[in-house]
Structure 1
């Protein structure tokens, strides 16, 4: 009875309050179908958000999701594991002054910043802080800016893997005979304005190792200031995180991915099997498309939440609307794909 009243209320809202007797048979049929569908869709979204609020892991300082110690910052660079933090940056001089020291303190093997034709002192700030800086090449035809920047970052560190492998040829043969395994490589792409709290990288790596994840994406805790940001940002987060329940996101179901390009960590093999950023060269929402390509190529995928303000992990200030929100709205529109 209550359901019927709710459908009737929706019906009246859509039809501007016209009574049922004034409707044509076609209109009555459409509203009879649309009402339950709308109610079911809203119920599904609410269920997804509530499920993910309790089901998604939140990174904590020096801990994995079980509460076990994840080691020190240097523990992320344990023998047999190479960790590269890769930062595409354009006109991020003021941002990197704040975020880069914390990133360098994480204990990664590499912290590489790509200066994408900045008009400010982005390159100098990054170099002075101690990061390795590479200059971005001109944008080729058919590419979008961020995929091209990330492609160059990956090529820089993956090319070094090949050089290291050649240099260690004889030693590698001896190691293989002794049962040694090749050094694994984690590629972690992170935006310049994401703040990495102490122990965040160790917690992320521990979580990937514990779950055997090939691709881990992090939804940082967003820092908001104005009333407009407090109103809009939770809606954007809900659209990203609430589009599917955690079990569906972690399943092998084609397209069921909730990815976030602010922080994406790949095992090298999974990144290469997905085709790298070259596979999404023309995509404005490259994070979801690349995660989907990795999933379809057999990668084990998971998503986690960044820390609260009092904890650890990743936090991120909201970007100005002209930079971040149109892209976020576009991603919310395209994120389902199934």
Structure 2
């Protein structure tokens, strides 16, 4: 009885703290800063940019994403480098066929993958080397479509604010039922792990980026040790942000208005693999962190609805009230993300169910790692970095 009475109270206190004291992670107003008017006088020179796109078996999405890059209107010099990472579906040939018009496109293939590297980072390293002495590198995934003005907005923000890394969390697809249920929560949980305000604050320990769209100054990347400094990272975007920030660079992360992922995840199994392939790596392959995460998810996300139901059915109004208040705070903090994705905010009450799915995905990620199939993606399986 005592446990039943106090557990929902602890959950409620946790939600009060998360809502008020955890970097306002639930806010969705972290967007690229608006451009200031250009000063009168001679037009300033726009810096040169190389766009590097690692691609492995991406023939399904390239016809939508690649033309959006080649058609970007940008006042400076741009070249696009697509690194075909030994695809088996004709990705390279398809990319060459899409090259008519727009910015110059180079399609290349890296040498065979060496030990200690993830495929994406090995492809990025190859593309960065081919880029030459440009001032900025836009590292963007093959499934990311850029609306008109995206590149100019990224470079303008970096120049205007003196930023070394500007990253945007692409707006993911939410067409199917499972996408609508799981995708907004994915971004919400990411922001809870890495509050954008804390990440963007110079001197703060938190550092994060979104790998689908990251603009980095070439000299800042070199100061951070280059792509080789994070060569074995499965969660490469966060590792890149940490490396740049640790070397003295200024970073910025926010939600995107002009950058969209076009990759479909129509079935639960596809979304499950997307999350579980890196969830245990996020916990640094630690059984202790896994146990703590499972207990924490249960306390924060599962206790409120269970306590609400148990209190109402068992005639314990105090238990029901604490559970309902925690559930209301949870739903209230999730509602802005649903609005960002243009989904009904009433769906926020389902977040405990979605959190349960994420809990199971995290456990499955650990199980797959223990079975030697952790961090598996597109035919490759990566060990934990110290084993690489």
Q: Same fold (TM over 0.5)?
A: yes
Return the offset for 1:145: 1.1
Q: Of the candidates 259, 275, 298, which is equivalent to residue 325 of structure 1?
A: 275
Task: Give runs of aligned pairs for residues 154-233 of structure 1, distance below 5 A.
Answer: 154-157=128-131, 160-161=132-133, 185-233=135-183
Matched, 1:92 2:92: no
User: Secondary structure of 2:52's match?
Assistant: strand
Question: Aligned with 1:220: secondary structure?
Answer: strand
Distance 2:2 2:273 in 1: 40
CA distance in 1, matches of 2:35, 2:220: 27
Q: Say if 2:67 is the partner of 1:101.
A: yes
CA drift at 1:328: 5.5
Taking a change above 3 Å as real, the CA distance of residues 314 and 87 of structure 1, as seen in their structure-2 partners, is: same
Q: 1:321 to 1:185 in 2, by over 3 A?
A: same
Question: What's the counterpart of residue 132 of structure 1?
Answer: 106
Provide runs of 4+ in structure 1 moved above 6 Å. none
Match of 1:114 among 64, 72, 83: 83
Do the aligned partners of 1:214 and 1:299 also contact (CA within 8 Å) in 2? yes
Paired with 1:140 and 1:322, the residues of 2 have a C-alpha distance of 28
1:80-116 residue CA offsets vs partner (Å, 9 max, x unmatched):
5111111000111121111111110114611100000
What are structure 1's unaligned runs of at least 5 residues? 14-34, 60-64, 162-183
Q: CA RMSD in A?
A: 2.9
Match of 1:268 in 2: 218
Cα 1:80–1:52 change in 2 (3 A) is same
Please, which moves more after superposition, 99-108 or 87-96? Answer: 99-108
Q: Which residue of 61, 66, 69 corresponds with 2:34? A: 66
Superposition TM-score, scaled by structure 1 size: 0.71
Q: Aligned pair 1:147/2:121, yes or no?
A: yes
Distance 1:318 1:43, change over 3 A: farther
Q: Which residue of 2 aligns with 1:235?
A: 185
User: 1:252-289: CA deviations, max 9, x gaps?
Assistant: 34540132111111001111111122111111111111
Structure 2 length-normalised TM:
0.62
Query: Contact (CA 8 Å) 2:169, 2:212: kept in 1 or not?
Result: yes
